[in-house]
Amino acid sequence: MANELRPCPCDIGDRSDYGGRGQEVQVEHIKAYICKPPASTDKAVIVIHDIFGWQLPNTRYITDMLTTNGYIAICPDFFVGQEAWKPSNDWATFDDWLKTRNASKIDKEVDVILKYLSEQCGAKKIGVIGFCWGGAAVHHLMLKNPHLKTGVSLYGVIRFFEDRSSLLHPTFFIFAEKDEYIPMEQVKQLEQKLKQNCKVHYEVKIYPGQTHGFVHRKREDINPQDKLYIEEGRKDMINWLNKYL
């Protein structure tokens, strides 16, 4: 059993010192980190951060990786100025902290970012990826938002998911076999519901031996035994986006 005082996954992992190749911008009431590829494109990806917020270097690293694969990539501050979780915080206060940061209450911010990507960046095909808390937000958006083409939910915490599975867009779910915060039983139940109710293409993939956060909070140079799966998860994410955007 996971420690009940730690209801969310989150040691910060191998925090990188990555500085980022993009820039910070103000989009109406939202701060955001954006990176654009050298060649013009009409494809964009919104990156939804985990509980550690939009400034986590690891998340910016993935944002830039999307750009090297030809996408405009933007990671907005979906906490809208509220403090991100810090590893030094008391986990006993986590549920109270979470009450003002609901992963299914980001529609207003997403609409602002979609408008910005369309009007300021020329994006016509827009997808979304998200990690942990952000993975649950992706699930919500795939149920609701008609303007997004596809989504990738990376170890989205299933207990934050809405209890619906009639997705509107193709969605890829990445889970870690040894994730102590997302029991495999919950993943199996999610698969069952998707099988019964989902009319669009979806995939649920479990990566053997991996723990929560492996795609963005583990570094392949520090975890040689996990390198294969870290790289595979990143490649699978890009391949899914390439297929549907």
- Model confidence over 201-213: pLDDT tens digits? 999 999 999 999 9
Judge whether 167 lies within some domain: yes
What is the pLDDT of the chain when averaged over all its residues?
92
* DSSP-assigned states of every residue in 95-137: HHHHHT--TT--HHHHHHHHHHHHHHH---EEEEEEETHHHHH
Which residue's structure tokens are 């570094």? 219
**Nearest-angstrom CA–CA distance, 125 and 109:** 18
Q: Is the dihedral of CA 129, 133, 139, 140 positive or negative?
A: negative
Judge whether 14 lies within some domain: no
**Nearest-angstrom CA–CA distance, 26 and 134:** 20
How many domains in the chain? 1
Judge whether 84 lies within some domain: yes
Residues, the chain: 245
Q: What is the pLDDT of residue 188?
A: 97
**Nearest-angstrom CA–CA distance, 194 and 196:** 5
**Residue 121 known to be catalytic:** no
- Model confidence over 89-117: pLDDT tens digits? 998 999 999 999 999 999 999 999 999 99
Judge whether 18 lies within some domain: no
Per annotation, catalytic residue among 77, 179, 226, 236:
179
Report the percentage of the chain scoring pLDDT > 70.
93
135: domain range? 23-244
Task: Answer yes or no: is pLDDT of 4 > 60.
Answer: no
pTM as predicted: 0.94
Judge whether 121 lies within some domain: yes
Judge whether 185 lies within some domain: yes
Per annotation, catalytic residue among 8, 35, 75, 132:
132
